[in-house]
Amino acid sequence: MAVDKARVEAAVAEILAAIGEDPGRAGLESTPRRVAEAYREFFAGIGQNPLDHLTDTVAVGEHTGELVLLRNLVFRSICEHHLLPFHGVAHLAYLPGDRVVGLGRLPAVLETLAARPQMQERLTEEIADALQTGLDPQGVLVVLDAVHGCVSARGPRQTGSSTVTLASRGALTDPVARAEIMALIGAGA
- SS3 for 1-37, per residue? CCCCHHHHHHHHHHHHHHCCCCCCCCCCCCHHHHHHH
Is the pLDDT score of 115 beyond 90?
yes
Q: Which of 14, 29, 41, 81 does the annotation list as catalytic?
A: 81
Q: Which of 14, 80, 121, 158 does the annotation list as catalytic?
A: 80
Q: Which residue has the higher pLDDT, 160 or 109?
A: 109
Distance CA 33, CA 37 (A): 6
138 is catalytic: no
pTM over 0.85: yes
148 is catalytic: yes
Q: pLDDT value at position 143?
A: 98
Q: Which of 82, 87, 125, 180 does the annotation list as catalytic?
A: 82
- 111-135: average pLDDT: 98
Q: pLDDT value at position 36?
A: 97
Classify residue 144 as left (phi > 0), alpha (psi -120 to 50) or beta: beta
Q: pLDDT value at position 156?
A: 78
Q: Which of 53, 79, 132, 138 does the annotation list as catalytic?
A: 79
53 is catalytic: no
Percent of the chain with pLDDT over 90: 83
Contact indicator for 76, 114 with CB cutoff of 8 Å: yes
80 is catalytic: yes
120 is catalytic: yes
Sign of the torsion formed by the C-alpha atoms of 136, 140, 143 and 148: positive
- 51-55: average pLDDT: 96
Q: How many other C-beta atoms lie within 10 A of the C-beta of residue 109?
A: 24
Provide the pLDDT confidence category of residue 181 given band limits of 50, 70 and 90. Answer: very high
Distance CA 139, CA 24 (A): 54
Task: Give exposure, 179-189, as e/b (b: 16+ Cβ within 10 Å).
Answer: eebbeebeeee
Q: Which residue has the higher pLDDT, 189 or 100?
A: 100
Is the pLDDT score of 71 beyond 80?
yes
